[in-house]
Chain A
Amino acid sequence: MDGIEHRLRGLLRGEKRMIAQIISAVENDCAQGLLQNIFPYTGRAYHVGITGPPGAGKSTLVNAVAKQFLQQGKKIGIIAVDPSSPFSGGALLGDRVRMTDLAAHRDVFIRSMASRGSLGGLARTTKDAALVLDAAGMDYVLIETIGVGQVELDIAGVCDTTVVVLVPESGDSIQAMKAGLLEIADILVVNKSDRDGSERLVMELKFAMEMREREPDWEYPILMTTATEEKGIGQLVIALQAHIDHLSMTGKLEEQRKAKLLHHVHELVEQKIRSHLEENVMHEHDLRTLVDRIYRRRLDPYRVAERIARKIVKGSR
């Protein structure tokens, strides 16, 4: 059986088992050949990122938004990222639980990903996994970040639209500004808006967003939702669609996506160089012995780097 052909066909037909297995291969870094073949079929889906502090209700919000898209007859891919344990490398992935209404739907595919050591709120392979869902014919790919309170800004580099979700309690607004979350937001959501302090948070956010450099023709919406009761979700969906329109009308969609592709290429090149270094030029071990000498001031890091770079260019030792 021809692996790639067969798998690609399954993927394009939207076979769930095949999508799932390809994402696993992507996660395990053994799908490069396949990704090359998949790429031409991507670029149609619209990627939405959902990020925010822990307990903001991101999964519930994703669930509610996805339901509305389904009613419009759209196909939805969802990726929910949870942290891997830094000690064991294992992970407990529980975001699905809040999406049980959706999981069985024909037009929904939900995948949990562990961060596997990545620190920016996504796994290193989340972007490629999203491409797989794109190729599988999803209209929307919703990506939910880890949400453990660390700085999770990677999402903006992956998605067309970034939704930042905050909640009234626990002084999130101030933390969010510090963490740069507001800088990446295209749409702001105050979830659990039935609780005390939500009005105040909205005011604070309005103020903060006025300080932010304006994007012409886009008024950052600040919406109130109660995702558990599916309140305010309609407005959010409208805002998302307005943002797509805005991006495509102003030509920003293409511009943004090109910037992201450029970044992606850079990343891949860096990875290539790194593995080339590892495999063909100098292994970590040898580098360590060099560092030993640098430490004793027999060598200096600048000259070593220079020499290694020259070796890489030449291609081998």
Chain B
Amino acid sequence: MKRAKWDAKFKACRERDIDFSTVSGLPVRPLYTPADIAGFEHDRDLGYPGEFPYVRGVQTSMYRGRLWTMRQFSGFGTAGDTNRRYKYLLKHGQTGLSVAFDFPTLYGRDSDDPFARGEVGKCGVAIDSLQDMETLFSSIPLDKISTSMTINPPAAMLLAMYIAVGEKQKLPAHILTGTIQNDMLKEYQAQKTWIYPPEPSLKIIADILEYCAERVPRWNTISISGYHIREAGSTAVQELAFTLKNGFTYVERGISAGLPVDKFAPRLSFFFNAHLDFFEEIAKYRAARRIWAHTMRDKYGAQDPRSYLMRFHTQTAGCTLTAQQPENNIVRTAYQALSAVLGGTQSLHTNSMDESYALPTEKAVKIALRTQQLLAYETGVPNTIDPMAGSYYVEALTNELEREAYKYFEKIDKMGGVIPAIEKGYFQKEISRSAYSYQVALERQRKHHVGVNIFTEDEKPAIETLKIPPAVEKVQIAKLRRLRRERNNQRVKEKLRLLRKAAKDGENLMPRILDCVRAYATLGEMCSTLKEEYGVYREPIIF
């Protein structure tokens, strides 16, 4: 049968009354054929696993060699509470740690800061000083695990604390492995956790790149994150384009700080969202690898393949979890996890079913972890490398996402780059528009969310949730005050003075921060010191 004939027959059929587009709004045709990927050449466009342009994956053997790292993001209450949860997860087969900090920590404020009221230990673990960090990793040998820390404005301080914990465990910094998120650009664009204005923030990031290249060479210095851009409501294309553009901006900063690109680029990694639209997500990961490889090699002159192969972590989309019929979240998350694995992720976090209510209970976390283990050990999915390659639809979608991303790059360049675009509120506007139009599509029944606007039920689900006792705040504050009484305050003051001076003189801050940390200066003290020098950021308000 010829195509034209099929088209005619198809036209005569009735289609369901929904929008046939991806969740991001890209139109989807009823059928994809070789015509949709005309000119496609496997070796050139995809390459072999572990080979340029890495569309089929960044390692030669991919999951045949080693499964992805199962890394559940976790943290709550005091350092002691979280330490117990970590030991539980490691016992159940988790292979890496991922620290969730509470809001005051994320903003570089101490637990007794007026702004911290009601927030201590709520959304993550409260860390005020090295003392808390010692508790957090108590009897967890840092040479046996890798640790990811979701921390941005105070990333340098938390990394310094981790290094200092290593010192106490008699481990040199150069064997430590892990990641700090340290991606400030997406904070201004989407996640909105900031302290200083963009310029000093990027300066600190460049300091970290430089320091780690010498002293902590196995540390992933920036986890360039699309996850939060997506959670804030962007489309898949925007997530892809903004994240990569941010990545290139860091690369440019590193280069202009005088670092050779191959010296720091191998330690850059990425972090993406796994959202609802199965194929679109797979195409997104594949397009991301191709763009990064080409641009890093051809535009920024990287020669070490590790500089242009893109490694990334994935988390299933928190914003897609429903409070309604929460058990459905287990299934939803499983599909999302499958897309991440088919997209070739290096590590994965699966959300727990109860997370639209509170931080997850132990049981819910275990099911989430088991979801990954099922995928790894039962489904056979990891048996062959990149099984989606050659699918007309997936390849066409990969090409389309790539094309659209380049259009965004051009627009951003025209605005003078990422920072001027942030100051104009460009990203914020793009993201909130996408978020609103998705909401409108849901309310008009053009898109569906099970349990929310279709197959809804009236009864309120009875679900057990994790409670953070209010005493946590009191306990944490008491501990902090005791520390301030008992430490050598003269020494703290002196180290903070030197930090301020280094900031003023434009020196690399890392050694000074490490000195402060070792003297048990608190996170809030260090950040306030830098605030005095750098000022604070004000957001432009854009709808």
Contacts and interface: CB of A to CB of B under 8 A. Distances in A.
Consensus secondary structure, chain A interface: helix
A97 interface: yes
B539 interface: yes
Interface of A: 55, 92, 94-95, 97-98, 228
B541 A94 contact: yes
A73 to B, nearest CB: 26
Interface residues of B, number: 5
B538 interface: yes
B424 interface: yes
A98 B543 CA distance: 15
B541 A228 contact: no
B541 A55 contact: no
Contacts of B424: 55
Q: Ordered nearest first, which 10 A-B pairs have the shortest CB separation?
A: A94-B541, A97-B541, A92-B543, A98-B538, A228-B538, A94-B543, A55-B424, A97-B539, A98-B541, A95-B541
Nearest to B543: A92
Nearest to A92: B543
Which one of B539, B541, B543 has the highest number of Cβ atoms from chain A below 10 Å of its Cβ? B541
Interface in B114-130: none
Interface string B472-497: 00000000000000000000000000
Contacts, number: 10
A26 B53 CA distance: 65
A98 B537 CA distance: 11
Nearest to B535: A229
A9 B541 CA distance: 37
Interface in B488-543: 538-539, 541, 543
B188 to A, nearest CB: 14
A68 to B, nearest CB: 18
Interface in B411-443: 424
8 contacts: A55-B424, A92-B543, A94-B543, A95-B541, A97-B539, A97-B541, A98-B538, A228-B538
Given A94-B541, A97-B539, A98-B538, 7 more contacts: A55-B424, A92-B543, A94-B543, A95-B541, A97-B541, A98-B541, A228-B538
Contacts of B538: 98, 228
B140 to A, nearest CB: 42
Nearest to B197: A228
Contacts of B543: 92, 94
Contacts of A94: 541, 543
Which one of B424, B538, B539, B543 has the highest number of Cβ atoms from chain A below 10 Å of its Cβ? B538
Nearest to A228: B538
Contacts of A97: 539, 541
B443 to A, nearest CB: 15
Contacts of B541: 94-95, 97-98
A95 B540 CA distance: 10
A186 to B, nearest CB: 28
A97 B542 CA distance: 11
A228 B540 CA distance: 11
A305 to B, nearest CB: 44
A97 B537 CA distance: 13
A95 B538 CA distance: 13
A97 B543 CA distance: 13
A228 B536 CA distance: 11
A92 B543 CA distance: 8
Nearest to A100: B538
B102 to A, nearest CB: 23
Contacts of B539: 97
Contacts of A92: 543
Contacts of A228: 538
Nearest to B416: A169
B416 to A, nearest CB: 9
B12 to A, nearest CB: 39
A300 to B, nearest CB: 48
A243 B539 CA distance: 33
Contacts of A95: 541
A53 to B, nearest CB: 13
A15 to B, nearest CB: 27
B506 to A, nearest CB: 19
Interface in B77-91: none
Interface string B224-259: 000000000000000000000000000000000000
B242 to A, nearest CB: 21
A104 to B, nearest CB: 13
A225 to B, nearest CB: 16
B197 to A, nearest CB: 9
A94 B424 CA distance: 15
B532 to A, nearest CB: 15
Nearest to A94: B541
Contacts of A55: 424
